[in-house]
Structure 1
Amino acid sequence: MLNKIVGMIVLAAVGTHVFRILHSLGYQNTVYKHYPGPCRLLQTPGKGSEDISVTTNGLAFISSGIRLTRYNLDKSRKPHNTRGRIYLYDFNNPSQNATELPFDGDFDVDNFYPHGISLWQDSITGEVLLFVVNHNPKEERIEIFNFDPKSLRLKHSKTVNVKTMYSVNDVVAVGRESFYFTNDRYSKTWYGQSAEKYLLLPWGSIGFYDGKKDTLVQTGLLGPNGINISPDRRFLYVASIRLGSVTIYSISSDNSIKELKVIPVYTGVDNIEIDPDNGDLWLGCHPQLYLMTSHFANVTKRSPSQVLRVKFNRKDSYDQYEIQEVFVDDGALISGSSVASVYKNKLLVGSVIHTTVYCDINTLY
């Protein structure tokens, strides 16, 4: 009798865990295509537009050429046949396509595989610095570039590699050389990564670098992904792609953080962008995350795309909010959406390895 009870308990535990995995991968989700207005493709020769960050005057920086082999440590596999690029798109001239930005300075372009990006702007001089997660084959790095608005070039300023950066996904700049970043996992071996993935182990973390030293400010997280900061620099937003949620942290004067609220969005939320006019969160999401695996293996296989907006009803509180689904595509126009950036009722939707889409926003409450 006891053996039967133990067996039933084990079976229930296994069944519950399998359900959690399937739910986190979006097997229960259905997509219905709709756009906020007219949409078109941006023509870029690179592969993907994993992250997008926009200046206050409407210049959008786009990262392209993520190194997918970081998600499979089989050393016999070579990186995909592409190179890392940064593109610039001007929201003020929406009919134009994005242009590639050349690099200046002593910088290893051949081993540049960008992922998350972030902008820091000097409020007095207008200087723009671009922070880029770089999955260099030797080590995880954050590259810092100065943007020259006249020549439209990026001058490499600094490479940061510290011990707490072991699987960096995204970065948000808070100063000229300081930033928060997410580690979406801990393990560096194939079996360790598989255990984190299938056992849903919360081994991710958030780190902070002040320009000289680094520290982990939050640990025990399940797959932290996109990260961003509120316009007043008081709150940090972090996405969990497997939990389908956004966590809000308050930032203390010593740069430590404290969890305030978890907002469930019930989809594979990837990157977070902030509307500078009202502080709304714009989320690039994977509503059926399980389809991303086949999409990564063969880009022609579709993986649906989704954009959500989280609107806060009170400026002094996160207790009241609304979630609006702004954009959904079945993967025909754009597969595997990872980011959504807005500027004056204009929307850019980026993808991990597929296309980039521009939309006019005509339907938004």
Structure 2
Amino acid sequence: MRLAAFIIVLLVLAGAAVYATLNSFNYFDDVERSFAGQCTPVTGIAGPEDIQIDAARSRVFISSRDRRTKESRGAIHVFDIANPLSAEGWRDMTMGRPTRFKPLGLDYYEDDEVRRLFVVNEAGKSVEMFDVNNDGMLVHLETFSEPRLTSPNNVVAVGRRSFYVTNDVQPGRDTRIGRIQFLTRQASGQVFFTNGASWRVAAEGLRFANGIEASADGARIYVAETAGGAVKVYDRDLETDMLSLVQTIRLDASPDNITVDDAGALWVAALPQPLSLPAHAGNPKKYAPSEVIRIGADGAPRTVYRDDGRELSAATTAARLGGTLIIGALYDEKFLICDLPAGEI
């Protein structure tokens, strides 16, 4: 009898722990569509996970890969925002280099002399650097890797060969230990900095370090803490490139990628129910809700777009240019071009 009672207590405690975990990730919440604007899908682009805007040329770079086919090679697409149905948009601009290429996060960098695209490559646990031609074609220049960079997720460039890159969980996000660390919110995530020659840890103790972005002047770095449900704000020492945490912005969702618009506002794509993602990964008919959050100068998050996943599942990136918001996703074979209401511009 004592053994039976002990087993019952263990089962009750285990059930309570599972329920608490599910509830903490909003698993039981209802997600209703909320958006004051209008969205148009652009189809035929598999898994448009990250988007970067080249505002001067009114074009976007899109990281794309069919993630339901594990060994598929990914692509980088360039779309003209004014003419998104141009056939050029569906062309892979990498010209097949590197051969093993599974792109994830990316960042566009430009100064007076160069235009470059930095792309996280899951296949090599590396960051690829491309020159960007006038027509958007990409010329592969260099591969950056580091033994401690075990699970790179996203990148932000702060110089011609200098960048920060997130390492979401040290064991790797696709490992069993990595998944457990996500569910238990273990703080093993890091941000690395490299000047192209040497590497160092610039920030650590993050609960799944995901998207990363910089302010226009490069003095602040923003990091999405997916398992922590927050955006971390760091001051950047422009001489040492070390990061100092100055603010944590709490969200009622799990943030993925971050972009900064021309007014300095953050646009954060997020998962209201992150634990719906595994089912969606295995079956596109099982939806994963999406959310886009704007964080203005006051640091207050405000939901701009929310959907139960029927229009777009598992949004991972959102970028604004003028009155247009572009939203990408992890698995869907489409991205959205949305007209923002006047109050959100």
Question: Structures share a fold, TM > 0.5?
Answer: yes
Q: Partner of 2:7 in structure 1?
A: none
- Correspondence 1:76-87 to 2 at 5 A: 79-80=69-70, 82-87=72-77
Q: TM-score, normalised by structure 2?
A: 0.88
Counterpart-to-counterpart distance in 1, 2:121 and 2:271: 23
Counterpart-to-counterpart distance in 2, 1:212 and 1:146: 19
Q: Which amino acid aligns with 2:307?
A: D
Counterpart-to-counterpart distance in 1, 2:241 and 2:66: 29
Question: Which of 206, 217, 221 pairs up with 1:236?
Answer: 221
Where does structure 2 lack aligned partners over 5 or more consecutive residues? 1-9
Counterpart-to-counterpart distance in 1, 2:220 and 2:302: 21
* 1:55 Cα offset (Å): 1.3
Q: Partner of 2:93 in structure 1?
A: 102
Question: Which of 208, 211, 217 pairs up with 2:193?
Answer: 208
Q: Are residues 273 and 16 of structure 1, via their aligned partners in 2, closer, same or farther at CA, if it must alter by over 3 Å?
A: farther
Q: How many residues align?
A: 332
Q: Are residues 195 and 287 of structure 1, via their aligned partners in 2, closer, same or farther at CA, if it must alter by over 3 Å?
A: closer
* 1:103 Cα offset (Å): 2.5
Q: Which amino acid aligns with 1:255?
A: D
* 1:90 Cα offset (Å): 1.7
Counterpart-to-counterpart distance in 2, 1:224 and 1:17: 24
The reply on whether 1:362 has 2:338 as its aligned counterpart is no
* 1:18 Cα offset (Å): 4.6
Counterpart-to-counterpart distance in 2, 1:15 and 1:289: 20
For the 8 Å contact 1:143–1:158, the answer to whether it is kept is: yes
Q: Partner of 2:106 in structure 1?
A: 117
The reply on whether 1:153 has 2:137 as its aligned counterpart is yes
Summarize deviations over 1:287-346 as a string: whole Å, max 9, x none.
Answer: 11111110011122111111111111xxxxxxx333221111221111110000110110
Question: Which of 322, 329, 335 pairs up with 1:344?
Answer: 322
For the 8 Å contact 1:24–1:244, the answer to whether it is kept is: no
* Range that drifts further, 281-290 or 15-24: 15-24
Question: Which of 157, 167, 170 pairs up with 2:151?
Answer: 167
Q: Partner of 2:47 in structure 1?
A: 48
Q: Partner of 1:71 in structure 2?
A: none
Q: Partner of 1:74 in structure 2?
A: none
Counterpart-to-counterpart distance in 2, 1:267 and 1:288: 7
The reply on whether 1:257 has 2:250 as its aligned counterpart is no
For the 8 Å contact 2:185–2:228, the answer to whether it is kept is: no
Q: Partner of 1:76 in structure 2?
A: none
For the 8 Å contact 1:268–1:286, the answer to whether it is kept is: yes
For the 8 Å contact 1:47–1:82, the answer to whether it is kept is: no
* 1:273 Cα offset (Å): 0.5
Counterpart-to-counterpart distance in 2, 1:67 and 1:284: 19
Percent identity for Structure 1 against Structure 2:
29
* 1:100 Cα offset (Å): 2.3
Q: Partner of 2:284 in structure 1?
A: 299
Counterpart-to-counterpart distance in 2, 1:218 and 1:35: 35
Q: Are residues 66 and 310 of structure 1, via their aligned partners in 2, closer, same or farther at CA, if it must alter by over 3 Å?
A: farther
Counterpart-to-counterpart distance in 2, 1:94 and 1:256: 39
Where does structure 1 lack aligned partners over 5 or more consecutive residues? 1-9, 69-78, 313-319
Q: Are residues 203 and 15 of structure 1, via their aligned partners in 2, closer, same or farther at CA, if it must alter by over 3 Å?
A: farther
Moved over 6 A (4+): 10-16
Question: Which of 90, 99, 119 pairs up with 1:132?
Answer: 119
Q: Partner of 2:170 in structure 1?
A: 186
For the 8 Å contact 2:152–2:166, the answer to whether it is kept is: yes
SS in 1 for 2:125: strand
Question: Which of 227, 232, 252 pairs up with 2:212?
Answer: 227
Aligned CA-pair RMSD: 2.5
